[in-house]
Structure 1
Amino acid sequence: MQFKRWRLSAVSPLVNAGLGLALLFTATACSKQDKQAETKPETPVIAAGTQLPAVWATRPLEGQVSSIGLSGGLRGILAIAYEKGGVQFFDMEAEKLGEKANFRLSALGSGESAVIDDRSITVFPGITREGELKGYIYGEGLIAPAQIDLPVTSDHAVVGVCSGPAPGTGLMRLAFWTDVNSSVLQNGIIKTDEGDLRWVPGESTFTDFPIKSCAFTSDTLVASPRASDAASLVRGPLDALVSLENGKLGISTDMGMTNAEIDVKDGITVVAPDTPDAMAAMGTMMSGGYPGGLIVIAGETKPGEYHAVFVDPSPLTLETN
């Protein structure tokens, strides 16, 4: 797997281009994945000012959102952490899955599904307000999100996390950074082992900037010093990064060398937040009727009212295939 330092640039493709070429990425990769990367089709270029439609939304949420996470699999789930506390799950029709649980989280990662003790569950990594990395699960018989311990240890408070699908028998790839040194990404794989979760650590990676967000693409771990949220949007030849920076949604197909702003167009009955507080994305959704994947943004849609809005990226993911 490669690690790359992702530096988001302005919307103009010319801004910082020379600097980006000089400082761009440090990469360490497995030879097998390097060979795969060499044969990947060329990623389409995305024009600035791309419009994507808002197609669905939750009912009014219980307050401002601090973080959201998406899971794929046969049953997609949206996890929402509230600024004032509480974690809630929603299905791909934007309906609540059970009740809200009173956990206070500062960040959520992407969810992954597993079968443990013959039970199918979906696990989202999350960071408590005390800086602990925990898991939040959805499964049959649960009336609200449940918290579990993850086998990941840290001597310092965790302040950021990202996750993605793991190869082989792994549950998820996971990377995090702490309050002591926000320029170091610790990453590894969480595996299931006879009903238990096991952490297989990878090598820590050092950046030359304080990390604000990270994301796993198909074969790369990327980090940004500017985007508050980052997510991979991979489908066919499209291998893109979606970002949220200062309330603006952007997309890049070259690891942030250029970053095109995305304009979300309101639907007939769906109003998107002008300045979202949180974002998550996934290029393939097997449920909910989203053939081109899904981007979710959460924020204030009118004074005092908050929604999670489902955005259809099909103009990018399907029309470029």
Structure 2
Amino acid sequence: MEFKRWRLSATSTVVNAGLGLALLFTTAACSKPEQAPESPPESSAITTDVELPAVWSTRTLESPVSAIALSGGSRGILAVAYEPGGLQFFDMEAERIGEPTNFRVKALAGGQSTNIGGSTLTVFPGVDREGTVKAYVFGDGLIAPAQVDLAVDGETFVEGLCSGPAGTEGIMRLAFWTLGNDRVLQAGIVKETDGELSWERGESTFTDFPIQSCAYTDDTLVASPRATAAAPLIRGQISALLSLEPDSGLKLSTDLGMTTTDVNIRDGLSVFAPEKPVAMAAMGTMMSGGYPGGVIALAGEVEPGKSQVVFVDPSPITLPESQTAGN
């Protein structure tokens, strides 16, 4: 009953779309929760506002931003999709890599590094303006991101998606919802066979609200009816969930949305965070770019007509022991 009260609370920004439904409904249509990891990260609830520093940013971008995503691995990449059209990749020093493209992308999810045909490639799943799922690939032998077909079992008019690591099962886990079925997260695994990408359907997860965003946190798939973006922030035993809401900004939860707190961004000497971010991505571990505690990326206008992606240091969350030692 306690979970049910939380699930229906107007203050919950993100709800557990797997385990939550198993507790709330008894219809056969509801899916079972994914199997939990043997030793999942545990974090105590954060009950006070958090302040994080803005540490770096891109130069002024050519257009307003529609979506962003991050990839990890030995070479982290920031993918930026522009409102008028176009997709550009950046390294974690915020420098452009590869040539810009004219792909018209409305949604992106976190990328994964993989080896295909002997080449090391980073694969970002995304949705084009027609609602078709695509993969945007960059790496060995490419001078610009390439757009590759990624069939999702005949599903069309896809509205949004989220991704997560798949371990040895495939390249990544991928879940999405469609325009005509926005209360169901259709989940599966992206795999590669003979140089071709495919999505293998798994169990669907049913919600009782129109989905606006989703995220994989460890082996739990979560969804939100209000947040325009959600991202896990996982490092060691620290497991947090970030959400971006149009009216209230960036939120943080360490208990899958049962409690949330505001995240305030402190500007640097020459780095200024957008007052109203329009897109967000995050990673708890980033091996490149000098981010020991991971990184949060926020996109939006830092002043009228000037859009940037700003990198924020989440170390007070992901490396709390270093903060304590420094005090």
CA distance in 1, matches of 2:87, 2:12: 39
Contact 1:162 1:175 in 2 (8 A): yes
Contact 2:40 2:218 in 1 (8 A): no
Shift of 1:320: 5.3
CA distance in 1, matches of 2:47, 2:265: 14
Shift of 1:169: 4.2
Contact 1:125 1:136 in 2 (8 A): yes
Q: Deviations for 1:216-267, whole angstroms, at most 9, x for unmatched residues?
A: 0111010000100000101122111101001601111111111111000001
Shift of 1:40: 3.8
CA distance in 1, matches of 2:100, 2:86: 6
CA distance in 2, matches of 1:40, 1:187: 21
| Aligned partner letter, 1:319 | P
Matching residue of 1:313: 314
Q: Deviations for 1:199-230, whole angstroms, at most 9, x for unmatched residues?
A: 22101111111000000011101000010000
Query: Which of 21, 27, 44 matches 1:26?
Result: 21
Asked if 1:222 corresponds to 2:217, the answer is no
Matching residue of 1:213: 213
| Aligned partner letter, 2:308 | H
Partner SS, residue 110 of structure 2 = coil
For structure 1, the residue ranges without an aligned partner over 5 or more in a row are 1-5
Paired residues, what number? 305
Shift of 1:161: 0.5
CA distance in 1, matches of 2:8, 2:120: 38
| Aligned partner letter, 1:25 | G
Matches within 5 A, 1:3-82: 25-27=20-22, 28-29=32-33, 33-34=35-36, 36=38, 39-40=39-40, 42-82=42-82
CA distance in 1, matches of 2:37, 2:118: 37
Matches within 5 A, 1:254-273: 254-273=255-274
Asked if 1:166 corresponds to 2:157, the answer is no
CA distance in 1, matches of 2:40, 2:173: 21
Partner SS, residue 85 of structure 1 = coil
Q: RMSD over aligned Cα, in angstroms?
A: 2.3
CA distance in 2, matches of 1:63, 1:48: 35
CA distance in 2, matches of 1:266, 1:234: 24
| Aligned partner letter, 1:176 | F
For structure 2, the residue ranges without an aligned partner over 5 or more in a row are 1-5, 23-31, 323-327
CA distance in 2, matches of 1:254, 1:64: 33
CA distance in 2, matches of 1:192, 1:143: 22
Q: Deviations for 1:22-46, whole angstroms, at most 9, x for unmatched residues?
A: xx8125245xx4462xx44641222
* Identity, % of aligned positions: 59
Partner SS, residue 25 of structure 1 = helix
Q: Deviations for 1:131-156, whole angstroms, at most 9, x for unmatched residues?
A: 00001111133222110011323343
